[in-house]
């Protein structure tokens, strides 16, 4: 079981529309935690780890370079150097 701290949960709660523009999928931190656990979201500590995740998962990133990967809808900048990756 993965554990997400409040900063990660709040980041997803505040920015979920970048991945789910139609409607909010969670409305509080408890729902955010349950949702992120269910979809096997991960928290990584650097841009390099974001790249490694996408490569390991076989996600097509051929047209992206450097920090451009952070613009992917699935990547949320927690704001403290970490990134939350949510596969929608």
Computed over every residue of the chain, the mean pLDDT equals 94
Mean of pLDDT values over 2-10: 91
What is the distance in angstroms between the CA of the first residue and the CA of the last residue of the chain?
Answer: 19
C-alpha to C-alpha distances, 47 to 25, 67, 76, 83, nearest whole angstrom = 26, 7, 11, 8
What whole-number distance in Å separates Cα of residue 33 and Cα of residue 53?
20
27-51 residue pLDDT tens: 999 999 999 999 999 999 999 999 9
Predicted local confidence at residue 2, as pLDDT: 59
Max CA distance (Å), the chain:
36
């Amino acid at each position: 079981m993965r554990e997400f701290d409040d900063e990660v949960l709040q980041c997803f709660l505040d920015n979920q529309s970048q991945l789910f523009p139609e409607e909010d999928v969670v409305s509080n931190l408890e729902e955010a935690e349950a949702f992120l656990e269910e979809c096997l979201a991960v928290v990584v500590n650097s841009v390099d780890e974001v790249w490694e995740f996408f490569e390991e998962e076989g996600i097509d990133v051929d047209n992206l370079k450097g920090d451009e990967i952070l613009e992917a809808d699935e990547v949320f900048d927690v704001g403290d150097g970490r990134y939350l990756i949510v596969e929608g």
